């Protein structure tokens, strides 16, 4: 009867292989895309929060101006209509890969910014309005919100840049194919729209 040679594996070798495989898998970037995607979505949420904050200030601002400048009905109507349109155009986190959805959102917000700029310019003609404490408080809150919007947009652009770089470069490109991850639309706007409305009192 021939001798049978049975190869015996060391249990330690199998465990070492499993640990090595887990370390390699963890360090190869498999979690990078989902992590950066969530960061970009969180940054977009903050953009929307700040635009919502601005939107909530507008009715009080319009009412305050109306009390002093009834004859500026056209400007007041433009602001109200632009606000209504801006609140209707929403982009949820699942639409961040759709450049057209981001463009529509940007346009609606830019129209509102323009209308707000005209409203604030009207206030220059009404000294009593310019000295009204309620108006001054609203103006200050609006200015602070415009600054927060600028910061939120900057943070979103940075988060999307990191995510898009990951899904377009190696080895992230491989994982993007497995996940079905697509580049996100970046939030851009014209130079004029990046400036908060100028308010001088």
Q: Within a domain: residue 23?
A: no
Q: How confident is the model at residue 9 (pLDDT cuts 50, 70, 90)?
A: low
Name the more confident of 19 and 45: 45
Q: Within a domain: residue 26?
A: no
pLDDT at 198: 53
Q: Within a domain: residue 5?
A: no
Mean pLDDT, rounded, of the chain: 86
Residue 80 pLDDT more than 60? yes
The residues, ordered by sequence, that sit 6+ positions from 61 with a Cβ below 8 Å of its Cβ are 79, 119, 135, 138, 139, 142
Q: What is the CATH number of the domain that holds 181?
A: 1.20.1440.20
Q: Within a domain: residue 137?
A: yes
Radius of gyration of the chain (CA): 27
Residue 60 pLDDT more than 60? yes
User: Total domain count for the chain?
Assistant: 1
Name the more confident of 4 and 87: 87
Q: Within a domain: residue 182?
A: yes
Q: Within a domain: residue 81?
A: yes
Output DSSP code: residue 26. H
Q: Within a domain: residue 32?
A: no
Q: Within a domain: residue 11?
A: no
Instruction: Name the residue range of residue 87's domain.
Output: 45-194
pTM: 0.79
């Amino acid at each position: 009867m021939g001798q049978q040679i049975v190869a015996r594996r060391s249990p330690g070798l199998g465990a070492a292989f499993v640990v090595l495989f887990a370390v390699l898998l963890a360090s190869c970037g498999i979690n990078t895309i989902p992590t950066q995607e969530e960061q970009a979505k969180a940054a977009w949420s903050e953009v929307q929060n700040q635009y919502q904050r601005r939107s909530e200030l507008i009715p009080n601002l319009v009412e305050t101006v109306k009390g002093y400048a009834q004859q500026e009905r056209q400007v007041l109507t433009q602001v109200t209509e632009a606000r209504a349109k801006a609140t209707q155009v929403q982009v949820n986190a699942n639409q961040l890969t759709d450049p057209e959805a981001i463009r529509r959102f940007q346009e609606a917000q830019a129209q509102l910014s323009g209308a707000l700029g005209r409203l604030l310019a009207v206030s220059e003609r009404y000294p009593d309005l310019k000295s009204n404490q309620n108006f001054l408080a609203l103006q200050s809150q609006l200015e602070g919100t415009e600054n927060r919007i600028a910061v939120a947009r900057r943070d979103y652009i940075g988060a999307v840049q990191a995510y898009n770089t990951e899904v377009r470069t190696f080895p992230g490109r491989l994982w993007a194919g497995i996940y079905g991850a697509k580049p996100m639309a970046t939030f851009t706007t014209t130079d004029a729209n990046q400036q908060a409305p100028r308010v001088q009192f």
